Amino acid sequence: MSKSTRRVERAAAAAGLDMSVLHMPASTRTAQEAAAACACDVGQIVKSMIFEGVDSGELKLLLVSGRHDVNLDAASGMFDEGLRRADPGRVREETGFAIGGVAPIGHLSAIDTWMDNALLQYPAVWAAAGAPNAVFRVAPDALLRATGARVFHNGA
């Protein structure tokens, strides 16, 4: 098990999440790959997408349903500034995870987090666990509490 995956497990335990990391035989880097590996609806996949404010440079973690893209116009309105994808090097430096394995918990630095309300319709969702083939299953309301996320309507 990688250091990143162990960090996710420790963060989950500290947050009181009842979960186990599963290592899949195939890649789970994309929502479609993860849904196939987890035998679930693509909407149940949590995409951990990191953006930065164009003016502030602050990172924003958007937990988005695998069924949706991020509506950048709507998201920019939430933050009163434009958003752009964060540089992969900065993502790794701030979270400790490479893109494709960014978990919603266990980051090296605190990042303001928002959750797509579409995830809340499912009894369980699947999220990256710090490696390209590692995932965990969790109730979306428990993930919301563990991340301290605010709910947003993605509208995408």
Q: Name the CA radius of gyration of the chain, rounded.
A: 14
pLDDT at 24: 87
pLDDT at 55: 95
Alpha carbon distance 113, 24 (integer Å): 26
Query: Which of helix, strand or coil describes residue 32?
Result: helix
pLDDT at 56: 96
Going from N- to C-terminal start, the domains of the chain cover 3-152
CATH class, 3-152 region: alpha beta
pLDDT tens for the 156 residues of the chain, in order:
689 999 999 999 999 998 889 988 888 888 988 898 889 999 999 999 999 999 999 999 999 999 988 888 878 788 889 999 999 999 999 999 988 789 999 999 999 999 999 999 999 999 999 988 899 999 999 999 999 999 998 765
pLDDT at 155: 65
Specify the amino acid at residue 18. Answer: D
Task: Check residue 39 and give left, alpha or beta (phi > 0: left; psi -120 to 50: alpha).
Answer: left
Alpha carbon distance 52, 86 (integer Å): 5
CB 58 within 8 A of CB 78: no
Alpha carbon distance 66, 146 (integer Å): 20
pLDDT tens readout for residues 22-64: 988 888 888 988 898 889 999 999 999 999 999 999 999 999 9
